[in-house]
Structure 1
Amino acid sequence: MNTPFYIAKRYLWSKSNNNAINKITRIAAIGVIVATAALYIVLSGFAGLRDFSLSFANVFDADLKVYPETGKTFTSDASLRQAILKTEGVLALSEIIEERVYLNFKGKNHIATIKGVDARYGSVVPIDSMLFINDWFRQGENEVVLGLTASVKLSLGTYDYSELLEIYAPKPGTGQILDPTQAFRKERVVVTGIYNVNEEVDDTFLFADVDLARRLLGYDENIVSGLEIKLDPGADPEAVKEALATLFGNPVDIKTRLQQNDALYKMLNTENVAVYLIFTLVLIIALFNVIGAIIMMILDKKGNLKTLQNMGLLGSEIRKIFYYQGFLLTAVSGVIGLALGFIIVWCQLQFGWVAITPTLPYPVKPTVLNALVVLVTMLVLGLIAANIASRNVNEKMLAKI
């Protein structure tokens, strides 16, 4: 039998004759419970916020996107498209035209980016999840889908045939412009639907037929600004990316969804690490109470230590008693705190106690990874705290008993 561990368990659950020490021990345990629960709740909150933020990217951004490495456009012919579709892991492909344009509606102006997409775009991106009201535009028609933020700025609804939306794009060229009316190409379109992804996207992009965008910008039939690609659910984006790179004659830049939103991913990861470190510091402060409680317990049990010495226990074994006691106090309190944190997170999922808006509860996501991170952090810090406290039991102290 492990005698130090057995005695440590007895000390952990038995009350001291000194009421002050009992109170200090309870306070130390409550501190660890609260700090552990707080760490798990915050990590679950950031996991939910991460998924909530990236859900917008998952709706709007394709699995892979091909950009020209230099310039704004490159050539995409039928043979290239067929070769891409035959690549293992590729499920669908859509041609994209993107360019900055000027919008005018009843004297109200707005700068946006026209995004011309072909009929296959719905196979690459879930457009039904983007639409807020009414319908997607029809191919071959002068119809567009506008973002919610831009529509509010322009005071523009859908299917308004009495006053059409005007889109202006500058003509390429050099030299002085003598006639301003000849400096732009113009298309008059009807808005058939309003989409809603997030405020930035809604304010920026105007969806239209790719042929309408080519006509507005004066591009030839095979000219594209990019290609958006849908992958099979089990495909490796990096492997498909390497396979596609060999198909293009001109240098192109192929980005995964992660690379398309690298700034957002970096920001979320940095915030997550920062919050983890801050709440780990709170846990460390709580463990100082554990160290104090164990030291007080050592002083309270001085009389028992002499008895243990007489029974044949070595100084190192006596030290292990308080080492185990400190670790057990931390571990038991930490497990209780983790369970409490999980219950609070589960209740937030079920009842939405904390809300961002009246209709949107704060997103949380309880994960096994976060539970393991909290558990390992708490146990490692608990071992350190127990070791620090138990060092007060030394040969010099035992000699004075």
Structure 2
Amino acid sequence: MRLPIFFAKRYLFSKKSVNAINVISLISVIGVLISSAALVIVLSFYNGMENLILSLYSTFAPELRIAPTEGKVFSTNTAIFQELRKDNLIQSYTEVLEDKVLVEYENHQFIAQVKGVEPQSLLAVNHENMLYAGDFNILEHNNPYAIIGAQVQANLRVSLEGINNHIQLFSPRKGGSVNSVNPMEEINIRNIAPRGILQYQQGFDNLIITPIDFARDLLNEHSKISAIEIYTKDPAKVEQLKNTIQKKLGKDFSVKNREQQNPLLYKTIRSEKWIVFFILTVIGIIAIFNIIGSLTMLVIDKKEDMRVLESLGANKTLIQRIFFYEGVMIAFIGGVVGNILGLLFCLFQERFGFIRTADGANTIMDVYPVDIRAMDFVLVFITIMVFATLVSYLAAKLSVREIKPEN
């Protein structure tokens, strides 16, 4: 064992002549410990919330979405799209036609986004978590039905009950004349009965999902579509399929995964996590500065020992390393124990869920979710050790400088 480490270990664990030094050293360890544990716990909780939010968004967003890079609609009457529909990696493939429409129900009006899809696509993938009420059967005995978003339902107060319970959709007729004597003749008006209500999800709460044939008739668009939405059989192969499709379609189309469909959501969630990490790291650095006080008091307490070492031939560098290694040991102990305590806390929360949301205040989750990731522990430990090493070096250098040889 190297001599500086030997002395540092003895000084850290031996009883000091002044009991306050033991207390200060313990406070330094506890400060690093609490900082490490807090960082680990907060990162794990943010991971859990990130997974929860993204899982809710993922329920509504397709795994892949194909759209034109220019314009709003395109034709799929080509061999590429016909082959794509038959791809063995695809579980659900649907053409989509969507646009803004005016919705009216019992003298209440609302601007919504009608989205026409192939009816069987809603049944090919488990979408049950999307529904607040009703079902996904939007085509029954050749009769079209609609699934409406939460905001549409809230604003129009639409009920799913009743025999003649229909909503009216209004869309300007393409190619119509603006000089028509009766402007209503240039507007397509269609009635449809609501069959289900979507759970609230920002970005999807103004949707009205209908069979694509109904949307074609309403929007007067019989040959082109707005997008293609795809779900895969194996989520692990989404990126592989995305790259393959993009290569085949070229620059005229964009193929986006879920993150690319809503980059703001993903960036916001991740940036919030690292902002909190930065704030807690600053607080942790303040706690690490306790090491300066601990080493300064220890140097004063061991001043006579240092003079003895100097008389035996030890130079300032060796003495400085003794106190530097002690500061590093304090941070190491605090960091390791803090990580362990943080891990245990997260495991208990994951197993027993003792930190809960208020009863009845949240229908999405009853307990705060956690997601334990090994890289978070490594990041926290490295962060603590880097700052502790810098502080220990500074403290050791300044403290040892004050030791003056006796005349």
TM-score (ref. length: structure 1)? 0.91
Alpha carbons of structure 1 residues 128 and 169: separation in structure 2 relative to 1, 3 Å: same
Query: Given that residues 66 and 256 in structure 2 are in contact (C-alpha distance below 8 angstroms), is that contact kept between their aligned partners in structure 1?
Result: yes
Conserved in 1, the CA contact under 8 Å of 2:4 and 2:321? Answer: yes
Q: Which moved more, 1:341-350 or 1:189-198?
A: 341-350
Aligned to 1:61: 61
CA contact (8 A) 1:93 1:120 kept: no
The aligned residue for residue 168 of structure 1 is: 170
Matched ranges for 1:225-244 at <5 A: 225-233=226-234, 236-244=237-245
Cα shift at 1:326: 0.3
Instruction: Name the structure 2 match of 1:399.
Output: 405
Residue equivalent to 1:153:
155
Contact map agreement 1:327 1:383 (CA 8 A) in 2: yes
1:216 and 2:222 equivalent? no
CA shift, 1:317, in A, is 2.1
- TM-score (norm: length of structure 2): 0.90
C-alpha distance 187-362 of structure 1, shift in aligned 2 (>3 A): same
Residues 75 and 3 (structure 1), Cα distance of their counterparts in 2 relative to 1, 3 Å cut: same
Distance 1:261 1:351, change over 3 A: same
Q: CA deviation at 1:83?
A: 1.8
Higher mean C-alpha deviation, range 42-51 or range 74-83:
74-83
Q: Which residue of 2 aligns with 1:272?
A: 273
Q: Secondary structure at the match of 1:182?
A: helix
Q: Which moved more, 1:130-139 or 1:278-287?
A: 130-139
CA contact (8 A) 2:149 2:208 kept: yes
- CA gap 1:236/1:199 in 2 versus in 1, 3 angstroms: closer
**Partners in 1 of 2:162 and 2:385 — Cα distance?**
65
Alpha-carbon distance change, 249 to 388 in structure 1, aligned in 2, over 3 angstroms: closer
Q: How far 1:210 moved relative to its partner? A: 0.7
Q: Percent identity?
A: 28
Q: Residue 196 of structure 1: which of 199, 219, 224 is its match? A: 199
Deviations along 1:20-53, one digit per CA (max 9) or x if unpaired, are 2222222222221222222112211221121111
Change (3 A) 1:321 1:369: same
Aligned to 2:398, the other structure's residue is in SS state: coil
Equivalent residue, structure 2, for 1:335: 336
CA distance in 2, matches of 1:26, 1:396: 24
Q: How does 1:286-365 map to 2 (within 5 A)?
A: 286-349=287-350, 350-355=352-357, 357=361, 360=365, 361-365=367-371
- Judging changes above 3 Å, is the alpha-carbon distance between structure 1 residues 263 and 282 closer, same or farther for their aligned structure 2 residues? same
1:89 and 1:229 mapped to 2: Cα distance? 10
Does the CA contact (< 8 Å) of 1:41 and 1:342 recur in 2? yes
Task: Give the 3 Å change call, closer, same or farther, for CA 185–224 of structure 1 in structure 2.
Answer: same
> How many Å separate the matches in 2 of 1:40 and 1:216?
54
- Count of equivalent residues: 399
The structure-2 alpha-carbon separation of the partners of 1:124 and 1:54, relative to structure 1 and needing over 3 Å to count, comes to farther
Question: Deviation string for 1:327-382 (max 9, x for gaps)?
Answer: 01011012222222223333333224142635532332221111111111111112
Q: What is the alpha-carbon distance in structure 1 between the residues aligned to residue 406 and residue 398 of structure 2?
A: 13
| TM-align CA RMSD | 2.4
The 3 A distance-change label for structure 1 pair 396 and 162 is closer
Change (3 A) 1:395 1:285: closer
Residues 47, 370 of structure 2: 8 Å contact kept: yes
Output the CA distance in 2 between the equivalents of 1:395 and 1:17.
22
Aligned-residue offset at 1:97 = 0.9
Q: Corresponding residue for 2:376?
A: 370
Letter paired with 2:293: G
SS of structure 2 residue aligned to 1:383: helix
Query: Which AA in structure 2 matches 1:83?
Result: E
Structure 1 residue 132, shift from structure 2 partner: 1.9
Distance 1:396 1:130 in 2: 69
